[in-house]
Amino acid sequence: MSERRKVMAIDDTPENLRLVEALLGPAGYDVVTAASGRDGIARLPTERPDLLLVDLLMPEMTGFDVTKAIRGDEQWRHLPIIVITATGGADLVRALEAGADDFVAKPFDRNELLARVRSLIRVKSYYDTVQRQREELSRFFSPAIAELITSEEGKRLLEGHRRPVTVVFCDFRGFTQFSETVEPEEVLTVLRTYHQAMGELIAEYGGTLEHFEGDGMMVFLNDPIEVPDHEVAAIRMAIAMRDRFADLAAGWKKRGYDLGLGFGAAVGYATLGRIGYEGRYDYAAIGNVTILASRLSARAEAGQILISQRLNAALEGKVETQPVGELELKGMSRPVAAFSVTRALVPAAS
């Protein structure tokens, strides 16, 4: 075994606990013991076992009670449980219905016990690996998206596909002057506060953060998880980000920092998937829609959300906008009609 795994045995009979230690210890497992169900449950947070061996017939808190209590706690819901039974029959059925994963009969058969422990430890190892991947991905995606990407469907999405998305860019106004006049540590503090606040809203609205770029960021909605009315959701997110930033900026202004945030948004098809190299991958959206959103963001004033003509049409009756005319945008062969968002007209979905 490349990594020693921990088994907690819960039994009110000391001889049984010593026997479990004698059987599992030489096989490469760390064994901790508890003389009662209450003691075992109380020690879960400190011991953090990979598997439980639970005797069914114990005073005060039976193995049935222990199993039900653990399955009722979200933190331990996926902890494998093997019940130890000398009766079988109806008791075994009750234990499985309570949430036990497997059973061993008394007296122990060494080979049977080891086989059942190894089997469930493998399941737990796979679950732990997926959880670590999701925790790592959750630094970049919302929890729901991280869960999807670690699934079989998510693996297919990573290979590349096309889908309509709404892309939102935002970046600071006044950041260059700010960064040139204050200490680097203060710049980092401001950026971390900004990233934290915006990140919470991105997750709330189901957005995917493609990247931070110093004082700017790019977010898209409707991939890898489909978002109903993603055009409206994206603008609601931008409005919420604008309002949250205004609160932050008020505090910064008291310290002499004059900072604003401009937004650009567009809707259209993009090619999405994994880019990069082994050890450093990003999940990216590529297409004209991302370029247009970026260029609109560059032209937006502090507190302004500029959107494309196509996005404005999709928002009709749901978001109030005002035309700002045709804008000359970098890299665009002709002027682009743009609109400025003022407010949402329909209440957010509950």
**What is the mean predicted confidence (pLDDT) over 125-146?**
61
Burial class (CB in 10 A: 0-12, 13-18, 19+), 164: middle
Instruction: Compute the distance between CA of residue 46 and CA of residue 39 in angstroms, rounded to an integer.
Output: 12
**What is the mean predicted confidence (pLDDT) over 224-243?**
92
**What is the mean predicted confidence (pLDDT) over 320-349?**
84
CA pseudo-torsion sign 94, 98, 101, 104: negative
**Beta strand pairing status for 260-277 and 280-286?**
antiparallel
Check residue 223 and give its pLDDT.
Answer: 85
| H or E stretch at 156 | helix 152-158
| H or E stretch at 212 | strand 208-213
Looking at the predicted structure, is the pLDDT value of residue 151 above 90?
Answer: no
**What is the mean predicted confidence (pLDDT) over 101-112?**
86
Contact 54, 85 (CB under 8 A): no
Q: Supply φ then ψ for residue 118, to 5 degrees.
A: -60, -40
Contact 65, 52 (CB under 8 A): no
Instruction: Compute the distance between CA of residue 25 and CA of residue 209 in angstroms, rounded to an integer.
Output: 46
Looking at the predicted structure, is the pLDDT value of residue 326 above 80?
Answer: yes
Query: Residue 250: what residue type?
Result: A
Share of the chain above pLDDT 70, in %: 85
Instruction: Compute the distance between CA of residue 190 and CA of residue 307 in angstroms, rounded to an integer.
Output: 27
Contact 5, 120 (CB under 8 A): no
pLDDT band at 210 (very low <50, low <70, confident <90, very high): confident
**What is the mean predicted confidence (pLDDT) over 45-64?**
91
Check residue 350 and give its pLDDT.
Answer: 43
Give the chain's mean pLDDT: 85
**What is the mean predicted confidence (pLDDT) over 260-278?**
84
Instruction: Compute the distance between CA of residue 7 and CA of residue 157 in angstroms, rounded to an integer.
Output: 37
Looking at the predicted structure, is the pLDDT value of residue 324 above 70?
Answer: yes
Looking at the predicted structure, is the pLDDT value of residue 144 above 60?
Answer: no
**What is the mean predicted confidence (pLDDT) over 218-237?**
91
Looking at the predicted structure, is the pLDDT value of residue 346 above 80?
Answer: no
Which domains are present in the chain?
5-137 (3.40.50.2300), 151-344 (3.30.70.1230)
**pTM, to two decimals:** 0.59
Select the more confidently predicted residue: 350 or 120. 120
Burial class (CB in 10 A: 0-12, 13-18, 19+), 263: buried
Out of 5-9, 121-125, 151-155, 341-345, which region has the weakest mean confidence (pLDDT)?
151-155
Model pLDDT for residues 67-104, shown as the tens digit of each residue = 999 988 888 888 999 998 877 677 778 888 888 888 88
Instruction: Compute the distance between CA of residue 292 and CA of residue 334 in angstroms, rounded to an integer.
Output: 12
Instruction: Compute the distance between CA of residue 41 and CA of residue 182 in angstroms, rounded to an integer.
Output: 52
Q: How many CB atoms lie within 10 A of CB 166?
A: 32
